[in-house]
Amino acid sequence: MKLIGLIVVIATGLLLLWGVTDFPDWADPQSPASTHLSPHFLTESIEETAVPNVVTSVLGDYRGFDTMLETTVVFAAGIAVYTLLRRSRRKDLREKPEMIEEELPHQALIVKTICRLMAPFMQLYALYVIAHGHHSPGGGFQGGVILGASFILLAIGFDLKMVLKRMREKTTLVLGILGVLIFSGIGMVCVLLEKNFLDYSALSAILPATDIIMARSHGILGVEIGVALAVMANLVLIYVNLSSDGKYERGL
Amino acid sequence: MLIDIICIGLMSLGLFFFFATTIGILRLPDFYSRMQAAGKGDTLSSMLVLTGLAVYNLHHWSFGTLLVSVKIMFILVFIFMASPTASHHIIEAGYDAGVKPWTKGEEKNEQEGKEN
Amino acid sequence: MSNLQAPILLVTIPLLAAFFAALGGMLHRKISFPIALIAIILSFHQSIIVLLKVVNDGVINYRIGGWMPPFGIEYVVDHLNAMVLVVITFVSLISIIYSKLIVERELPDKIPQFYTLYLLLTTGLLGITITGDAFNLYVLLEISALATYALLALGKDRALISTFNYLILGTIGASLYLLGVGHLYIATGSLNMADLFRILPSLSGNSAVMVGFILIIVGVWIKMAFFPAHGWLPNAYTYAPSSSICLIAPLMTKVSVYIMIRIMFSVFSAEFTFANIAWQTAVVWCSVIAIIGGSLQALAQRDFRKMLTFLVVAEVGYMVGGVWLANEIGISGAILHILNDALMTLCLFLVAGILIFKTQRHQLMDFRGMFRKMPVTMGAFIIGALSMIGVPPTCGFFSKWYLIQGAIEAGRWEFMAALIFSSLVNAVLFFRIIEIGHFQHETDSHDHAEEKISEAPAIMLIPLVVVAIALVVIGLYTNDIVTNVIQHAVPVL
Amino acid sequence: MEFLLAKYNYWFYILIMMVGFYAMISKNNLVKKMIGVSIFQAAIILFYVSIGAKRGATIPIIEHGHDAVHHIDPTAYINPLPHVLMLTAIVVSVSTLGVALALISKIYAKYGTIEEDEINEQLTDV
């Protein structure tokens, strides 16, 4: 098995090496990748969407459909993990208890204090990253991950029950669904306004005091908020289920 | 000019400690001493490098660059809090799980390094 | 053109419904089924609209976000994917009605999640079929893959470990596809399929493009369980819950074949694909091995579902081989076989599901006396079996006929021999079951307790009967389908 | 030598990818297999991000003054598209990892081990 594996690996490697020989040089400004599509995005982004961060405008608008499906992938993973691991209450009673020992209170003091100190700052920073994605590196995914990480940090520092009191299972699920719904809902609103799916310029009809270009910018912001909610909720959902084996009793 | 010297000094010191940390993680005999290297060395070296960056950023003195430097200092404060706590917690978890500390004269605890 | 929203509604209705099914399931677990059902009916309706529009007016382009194609993502519906869209929504509709009772029995505490995943899987398959953007396809591939992993892993026995193997191989396949798209991107700077089709001929002989082609095709082969990489399929499908397998088994492999056809003819050109005769021969030989090996291993099985999974492997060989015959008849046979095989596999898996639903068992021997107990089910089974064997007027005959003609025209006698051989093996297989069902009665007193087994409930029978009728109707109207739809889908060679 | 240096990023992506690929194929432990998959996907991400690089260019955030937007030089900014694509791919790989870990966790609960050969032994015994 190992020998076959090695042969397959070497063969694939040689194939890829052969492919590389005709690549343009690394970081070549004249390579097709740099001259075909990207100049259009770079020069037109501000005029067409009023977003200086081109990654955000491509992510949220030019290829917004990819992003929507990507959020759906996170949602699918969250639901998949939830479906696989979550125990129903009936069976739960019959399971033998977890083997993790009780944590002594004095030992966790440092960790708890620091976690309590850090979590609000993390959440504040996450909101900044989400809201400031138009102008600086950031956006829905990054902000959502930081937001989710702050809850996971609390779950590690304290225990899972404490987090589940603040983020109930139903809240997490609803937020995860709501995030994706915001995204696809904005897309459907555009369809209802007789434009194409995810054509945010249609939103200028219902948003006050926005022209077509600003409507795109606002549309991207709305989408980013949806992405952030979905990513945050689903990461928490995945973590909670994985760490407690679906019992929601005590995590790591 | 002075800024350059300070900045180069801080950064190369930071890189030196990073290097030392890496060697420590690879070469020290057991879990606790390796975590020692990771926790202390990592914090110190990233603090040094970040301070260097903050100083470097003040080359063009304006409100904008000052703001960026202040932000970098904020990152530094958080690393200063988080990194030692994290290594403390990991060591604690190792202690709870019953990892035996290395004592002088023993063989280097290779087995445990492989397990983890 | 901008007013026709059907192409996007087709995909987004199941997607939105997935979210609403999850939300509604939290209120009450019975809400999610009607939501899912309505969404799939609407989606089926939209796919019919799209198909009629394509047949009458030609190719539909839909710009998502209103952006020009190479910059934004574009949906392109031509004859080929319009047909596949209808097949997907039809199969999805049939099996959601059919599996209602099974889900309630198999997964009583996971009903909303099941329907959410089911709708996500349908969305993924529809999106793969309709999209005109190479990267978008990857994302949709992963949506459908994740939903499939979760659905397969809900099964019993070895389901977990075989799903894990599928996950590893599926991820390798999707990653190779992504890597191949990266090679195309680095050589052309574009991700849009039409744009790639325009640029790629000027890059013939570029090794990056060649490697990209190989990577994509190999990735898709792994996904569809083509011969050297077929190992994951039988186990993963055998132990899956019978509620979801009726959606997964007929469609996953067919959609992968569709991706292969799309990549070969709409991204690369036929001249590029068939430039190298040695490759072509190698692929046809692989499919010959797939067909013969799959049939023989099916013959060795005593478990009905496992037998069917090996037949799926053999059928993949039919389609890949048919496409790589490199002539128009072979390719139209392969495309027709996507349609037929989806329905045939569906029919047989529906029968397997009913058998398990009623008797909790799925060995071949469990067919004893079934003709007396379940005449309708077994009638549908016979139609499905005849179609699998390739007896006119069921549709299986016609695609096989096209494939054989294609093999003769290309001079690939080995492929023709494999086709005939597999038909014979199928005949042996299914007549053995019919014989068991018809002439062997339970003699041992032990089984008398199960004498009460009667026909399945109507909600499961009606879908099965519809599929069985569809098998014959499609067989009768094969000529119309070929002249109106498939002829336009085949590239000019 | 010139030839080697001009594409060094691509050589490294192949190296990393093959490490991951080998782990994926030949490791016995399911978690190690998943680590292999992650390395494999990370290599693809490196590959794409390398495509986006452009000599002498900066991050693609357009600096615009308060006056109206005037001529933007596309060669001054790196290619944003691969970064967008890789944001998607990272999310996908994380999601796959999550589902895989959930599966491994269930496998461990069922068989009491995550070594593939031991599981296979248990399967053949039954």
- For residue D20, pLDDT over 50 is answered with yes
Q: What is the mean pLDDT of chain C?
A: 87
Quick check: is D66 in a domain? no
* Partner D contacted by A74 (CB < 8 A): yes
What average pLDDT does this structure show over D21-33?
Answer: 89
- For C161-195, the DSSP string reads HHHHHHHHHHHHHHHHHHHHHHHHHHHHS--BHHH
Quick check: is C351 in a domain? yes
Residue C448: partners with Cβ closer than 8 Å, 6 or more residues away: C442
Yes or no, beta carbons of B81 and A121 under 8 Å apart = no
Quick check: is C280 in a domain? yes
Q: Which pLDDT band holds residue C445 (cuts at 50, 70, 90)?
A: very low
From CA B112, how far away is CA D115, in angstroms rounded? Answer: 19
Chains B and D touch (3+ CB pairs under 8 A): no
From CA A242, how far away is CA A228, in angstroms rounded? Answer: 21
Say which amino acid occupies C126.
Answer: L
Quick check: is C383 in a domain? yes
Say which amino acid occupies C168.
Answer: I
- For residue C3, pLDDT over 70 is answered with no
Q: How does pLDDT run across C175-219, given as a tens digit for each residue?
A: 999 999 999 998 888 889 988 998 888 887 888 899 999 999 999
Query: Do C242 and C352 touch, CB atoms closer than 8 A?
Result: yes
Chains C and D touch (3+ CB pairs under 8 A): yes
Q: What is the pLDDT of residue B116?
A: 44
All structural domains of chain B with their residue ranges: 2-98
- For residue D68, pLDDT over 70 is answered with no
From CA C436, how far away is CA A144, in angstroms rounded? Answer: 59
Residue with tokens 């058998």: C355
Q: Which pLDDT band holds residue A73 (cuts at 50, 70, 90)?
A: very high
- For residue C84, pLDDT over 60 is answered with yes
Q: What is the pLDDT of residue C360?
A: 78
Quick check: is C316 in a domain? yes
φ, ψ of residue C205 to 5 degrees: the values are 90, -5
**C-beta atoms surrounding C266 within 10 Å:** 18
CATH number of the domain at D88, please. Answer: 1.10.287.3510
What average pLDDT does this structure show over A172-185?
Answer: 91
- Mark which residues 59-88 of D lie under 8 Å from A by CB: 59-64, 69, 72, 74-75, 77, 79-85, 87-88
Q: What is the pLDDT of residue B110?
A: 52
Quick check: is D7 in a domain? yes
Yes or no, beta carbons of A80 and D102 under 8 Å apart = yes
From CA D7, how far away is CA A27, in angstroms rounded? Answer: 9
- Mark which residues 69-128 of A lie under 8 Å from C by CB: 69-70, 72-73, 75-77, 79-80, 82-84, 88, 90
**What is the DSSP pairing of strand C74-77 with strand C60-63?**
antiparallel
Yes or no, beta carbons of D44 and C163 under 8 Å apart = no
- For residue B111, pLDDT over 60 is answered with no
Yes or no, beta carbons of C22 and A70 under 8 Å apart = no
Q: How does pLDDT run across B60-94, given as a tens digit for each residue?
A: 888 888 888 998 998 899 888 888 888 888 888 88
Yes or no, beta carbons of C168 and D37 under 8 Å apart = yes
Smallest Cβ distance to B88: which of A110, A118, A121? A110
Residue C306: partners with Cβ closer than 8 Å, 6 or more residues away: C234, C238
Q: What is the pLDDT of residue A211?
A: 83
- Give the chains touching D; criterion: ≥3 Cβ pairs < 8 Å: A, C
The number of domains in chain C is 1
Q: How does pLDDT run across A155-178, given as a tens digit for each residue?
A: 888 878 888 888 888 889 999 999
User: Which region among A198-212, C47-61, C342-356 has the lowest average model confidence (pLDDT)?
Assistant: A198-212
Q: How does pLDDT run across C347-382, given as a tens digit for each residue?
A: 999 988 888 888 877 777 777 777 777 888 888 888
Query: Do C232 and C165 touch, CB atoms closer than 8 A?
Result: yes
Quick check: is D31 in a domain? yes
Yes or no, beta carbons of A118 and B96 under 8 Å apart = no
Cα–chain-centroid distance for residue A58? 16
* Partner A contacted by D106 (CB < 8 A): yes
From CA C400, how far away is CA C415, in angstroms rounded? Answer: 11
Smallest Cβ distance to D61: which of A12, A53, A80? A53
Both tokens of residue C12? 């987004």
Smallest Cβ distance to B82: which of A101, A107, A114? A114
Q: Which pLDDT band holds residue A95 (cuts at 50, 70, 90)?
A: low
* Partner D contacted by A11 (CB < 8 A): no
Chains C and B touch (3+ CB pairs under 8 A): no
Q: Which pLDDT band holds residue C452 (cuts at 50, 70, 90)?
A: low
- Give the chains touching C; criterion: ≥3 Cβ pairs < 8 Å: A, D
- For residue D69, pLDDT over 60 is answered with no
| Cβ neighbours of A101 in B, within 8 Å | 96
The larger pLDDT score, comparing residue C219 to residue A107, is at: C219
Q: What is the pLDDT of residue D42?
A: 92
φ, ψ of residue C426 to 5 degrees: the values are -60, -40
Q: What is the mean pLDDT of chain A?
A: 84
| Cβ neighbours of C139 in D, within 8 Å | 88, 92
Query: Do A181 and A188 touch, CB atoms closer than 8 A?
Result: no
Q: What is the pLDDT of residue C325?
A: 87
Its domain, for residue D119, covers 2-56+77-125
Q: How does pLDDT run across C318-352, given as a tens digit for each residue?
A: 999 999 888 888 899 999 999 999 999 999 999 88
Q: What is the pLDDT of residue C1?
A: 42
Q: What is the mean pLDDT of chain D?
A: 85
Q: What is the pLDDT of residue C59?
A: 87
Q: What CA–CA distances, in Å, run from B26 to B90, B93, B110, C62, D35?
A: 17, 21, 11, 56, 21
Residue A177: partners with Cβ closer than 8 Å, 6 or more residues away: A75, C19, C22, C23
Cα–chain-centroid distance for residue D73? 31
Its domain, for residue C338, covers 274-493
Q: What is the pLDDT of residue B114?
A: 46
**C-beta atoms surrounding A25 within 10 Å:** 17
Q: What is the pLDDT of residue B8?
A: 92
All structural domains of chain A with their residue ranges: 53-85+106-252
**C-beta atoms surrounding C423 within 10 Å:** 20
- For residue A92, pLDDT over 80 is answered with no
The number of domains in chain D is 1
Quick check: is C256 in a domain? no
The larger pLDDT score, comparing residue B36 to residue A231, is at: A231
The alpha carbon torsion through A88, A92, A95, A97 (nearest 10 deg) reads 130
Q: How does pLDDT run across D90-117, given as a tens digit for each residue?
A: 999 999 999 999 999 888 888 888 888 8
Q: What is the pLDDT of residue C17?
A: 92
Quick check: is C262 in a domain? no
From CA C401, how far away is CA A32, in angstroms rounded? Answer: 45
